[in-house]
Amino acid sequence: MALALGALREIETHSVALPTVRSATIDDAEAIARIVVRAWQFAYKGHVPDDYLDRLDVVERERKWRGDIGEGVRTILVSEVGGTVVGFCSVAASDAGPDDRRIGEITAIYVDPDQIRTGHGRALISKAKSLAGEAGVESLILWVLETNVRARAFYSAMGFEPDGAQKIDRRPGFDLREVRYRVSIDPRS
């Protein structure tokens, strides 16, 4: 019993703030851009040429995200703690084909490398699933780098499964082989 009380005190004194998920605003564009650059440089090291990762530019990415947020074509969610944005998720209608009108797609999800395994990715996916269900979406898909074992394990833990689809994302000087994951959405959730 003393061990259990000691462990409880340890948990109480080292409590972690829970993520807050909300819709992104134009003011979040710089934070999103910073997260994209840091996440790519962390997660894709060894998968993508170093010179490409070294050239990633926050200012350039910020312009892109300002436009995406301003367009309102997709839903962009941010996860924050203490008022600081540390993760984001972009969800849109899928371009899987005309027969797949009830499929949504997570087009991007990244968490600052310093915040990995703190609940932000889980909170973003949960909110994306909830919003998709409310919109009548029957399944969500996402594409993940085939060699990104960490991300693939996370998506599996969140209920996504590979559905057999593959594609090659051709970049200047290199290709990214991606696999598609899918999860069914409960419209009542």
Residue 13 lies in a domain: no
Beta strands in 61-160 (DSSP E): 75-81, 84-93, 103-111, 139-145
Give the per-residue pLDDT at 3: 42
Give the per-residue pLDDT at 99: 56
Give the per-residue pLDDT at 96: 64
Q: Are 169 and 175 in contact (CB under 8 A)?
A: yes
Give the dihedral of Cα atoms 137, 138, 144, 147; nearest 10 deg.
Answer: 170
For residues 5-10, give the mean pLDDT: 40
Residue 11 has pLDDT above 90, yes or no: no
Residue 51 lies in a domain: yes
Residue 26 has pLDDT above 70, yes or no: yes
Residue 37 lies in a domain: yes
Residue 11 lies in a domain: no
Residue 10 lies in a domain: no
Residue 10 has pLDDT above 70, yes or no: no
CA 95 to chain CA mean position, Å: 18
CA 31 to CA 139: how far, in whole Å?
29
In this predicted model, what pLDDT tens digit does every residue of 29-85 receive, in sequence order? Answer: 999 999 999 999 999 999 999 999 999 999 999 999 999 897 877 899 999 999 999
pLDDT tier for residue 5 given thresholds of 50, 70 and 90: very low
User: Greatest CA separation found in the chain?
Assistant: 62
Residue 116 lies in a domain: yes
Q: What is the mean pLDDT of the chain?
A: 88
Location of structure tokens 């999800």: 109
Residue 159 has pLDDT above 90, yes or no: yes
Domain hosting residue 119, numbered range: 20-184
Give the per-residue pLDDT at 35: 98
Cβ atoms within 10 Å of 156's Cβ, excluding its own: 13
Here the CATH number for the domain that contains residue 61 is 3.40.630.30
pLDDT tier for residue 6 given thresholds of 50, 70 and 90: very low
pLDDT tier for residue 1 given thresholds of 50, 70 and 90: very low
Residue 6 lies in a domain: no
Domain count, the chain: 1
Residue 189 lies in a domain: no
